């Protein structure tokens, strides 16, 4: 899983304020590992209780990837992003090659949980 610096988190939140990140540093003992961070409406980073948090430039985060509806995933795939599906506890990744929709099963399309891969290219 890709790790992001505070600067990268701010950049990503600037483009999509609905993203959430998990704090993964083990150096800062006063912060809880695994805390989920989101952007409040007033522009501050906050935890799930909406309490303002401060971070340093050396802090690291991972993206909390939420499932998207299948059409959103397919549109992202069409734009060149890798997507993946989790169905029956099996994760299958689909990498766009010439924007060809091949290899999706009917069960995955109907019942799978779809995600857009957010890793760095």
Give the start-to-end residue ranges of the domains of the chain.
4-64, 70-116
In 1-121, alpha helices (H): 6-15, 70-78, 106-111
> What pLDDT does 102 receive?
67
Read off φ and ψ for residue 105, nearest 5 degrees: -90, 160
Please report, in tens digits, the pLDDT of each residue of the chain (121 residues total).
Answer: 688 999 999 898 888 887 888 888 766 555 666 788 888 888 888 888 888 888 888 888 888 877 888 998 888 888 888 888 999 989 898 888 876 666 788 999 999 999 888 654 4
pTM of the model: 0.56
Assign 3-state DSSP to the chain and report helix, strand, coil percentages, each to 5.
20, 25, 50
């Amino acid at each position: 899983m890709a790790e992001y610096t505070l600067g990268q988190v701010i950049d990503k939140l600037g483009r999509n304020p609905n993203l959430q990140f998990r704090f993964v540093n083990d150096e800062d003992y006063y912060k809880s590992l695994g805390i989920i961070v989101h952007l409040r409406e007033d522009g501050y980073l906050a935890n799930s209780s909406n309490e303002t948090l401060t971070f340093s430039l050396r802090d690291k985060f991972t993206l909390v990837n939420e499932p998207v509806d299948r059409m959103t995933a397919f549109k992202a795939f069409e734009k060149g992003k890798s997507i993946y599906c989790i169905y029956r506890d099996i994760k299958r990744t689909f990498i766009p090659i010439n924007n060809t929709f091949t290899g999706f099963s009917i069960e995955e399309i109907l019942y799978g949980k779809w995600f857009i891969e957010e890793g760095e290219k």
